[in-house]
Amino acid sequence: MALTTPAMGRPTLPPPPPASAPPAPRRAVTSPAWRHFDPLLLLATVAVTLIGVLMVYSATRYPQELAGGNPKYYLERQAIWAGLGIAAFLLTLVFDYRRYLLWAPVLYGGTVLMLAGALVIGHRVLGAQSWIQVGPFQFEPSEFAKVTLILSLAALLSSRKGQLSVKSLLVVLGLAVVPFLLIFKEDALGSAIVLGIVLVGMLLMGGTKALHMALLTVLAIVAIAGVLQSGLLKQYQKDRLTTFLHAPTGLSQGTASSLNPYAKTIEYNLDQSKAAIADGGLYGKGLFHGHLTDLSYVPNQSTDFIFTAAAEQFGFAGSALLLALFALIVWRSWRAAALARDLAGTLICIGVLCMIMFQVFENVGMTMGIMPVAGITLPFMSYGGSAMLVDWVALGLVQNVRMRRFD
């Protein structure tokens, strides 16, 4: 994330409110907060979420039916998650974001506790021990860590007023490293990487000096090289991360039967993913006519590889439109960051922007074989409750900042 590009420009920060100004009369002269709500941002996100629900259904209805289950099982669950996500979004809007910043230390502490808890009592899913069972639901603390970290960093960085000394920088890094290491320990590598990206983006926006940033970059490179060499990463993680670098394999064929050892490999998953995307062509096969989607040829299609379902059924035209919707979300988040009334608001928006942007690029790039397979979900679309809730809450924070820009 080369956010240091000078051409990027810097969002105009609103002048800090005079400390002495009494809040009450100010409120009286401004219009209600909802007048500054961004409908475009909400519409784009709702559209993406609905497409996601439909795609989850298209990718799961046949396997469900064949297994003797309810073909609408995943459709219903995902729709419920989407509804809960939107409810969480609305809930997030109720309180001024600055109140959340006050609660940041508590949120941060709670998150670290949950992450540690997941390590102790968590479930192991797809290699990652990052799930906590609560009643009938499993949830993933590492997903929630994203949004609490954004809030915590925003609170901390904004308190330094854009002037980051070495000491403050170290405090910020220390704050970020704890959940990062816990998540890393849980093998939820993808979430850890997202945290790292969010950190970088927010540091840049939070006024880190260029020299410090350069030093950090060098450090990060050394650390990554060290991790790859040291054996801290498990082999499957390394395989996932490096598969996309290999020359194209002979595209895989044959069914994913137990007789085909190739079917369990990450190359197979990638080949099938690319095949499904290629099958879409210019205009796609049409909704519920995705050949490879219907026949469940892409492993993990309803979760990490949900983009392939859209790409096969809607083709280049449809998936380009989908990417445009994501771009719209990113752009409106950028606008919110630019319009925010204070540095904390800007930092929140930038953090969310980085999170969504990186996840979209990494996830879609992964399905097309230009990014490593890192277990990162596609925001608002991949099947799963925790991610859906967190994505909507993050979006709620952005709207919150925008809505209250004159408060």
| Residues present in the chain in total | 407
CB contact burial 144-155 (16+ within 10 A = b; e otherwise): bbbbbbbbbbbb
**CB 358 → another protein: shortest distance, Å?**
9
Q: Which is nearer to another protein, 237 or 308 (CB)?
A: 308
Residue holding tokens 């007023």?
161
Minimal distance in Å, beta carbon 50 to another protein?
21
Dihedral of the alpha carbons of 180, 182, 186, 187, in degrees to the nearest 10: 30
Considering the complex, state which of residue 51 and residue 182 has its C-beta at the smaller distance from another protein. Answer: 51
Give the Cβ contact number of residue 363 at 10 Å: 25
Q: Which is nearer to another protein, 79 or 323 (CB)?
A: 323
* Residue 327: CB minimum distance to another protein, A: 5
**Nearest approach, Cβ of residue 247 and another protein (Å):** 13
Question: Judged by CB, which is closer to another protein: 105, or 365?
Answer: 365
How many angstroms separate the first and last alpha carbons of the chain?
A: 32
Rounded to an integer, what distance in angstroms lies between the CA atom of residue 382 and that of residue 377?
A: 6
Shortest Cβ 401–another protein spacing (Å): 18
Report the nearest approach of another protein to the CB of residue 291 (Å): 6
The amino acid that residue 132 corresponds to is I
Would you say 133 or 253 has its CB closer to another protein?
A: 253
Compare residues 137 and 288 and give the one whose CB is closer to another protein: 288
Give dist(CA 282, CA 80) in Å, integer.
Answer: 32
Residues forming the site for another protein (CB under 8 A): 1-3, 5, 7-9, 62-63, 66, 250-257, 263, 271-272, 274-282, 291-292, 294-297, 311, 315-316, 319-320, 323, 326-327, 330-331, 334, 357, 360-361, 364-365, 368, 370
Of residues 121 and 320, the one with the C-beta less far from another protein: 320
Nearer to another protein, 131 or 334 (CB): 334
CB 163 → another protein: shortest distance, Å?
Answer: 24
| Partners of 123 in beta bridges | 131
Q: At closest approach, how far in Å is the CB of 182 from another protein? A: 28
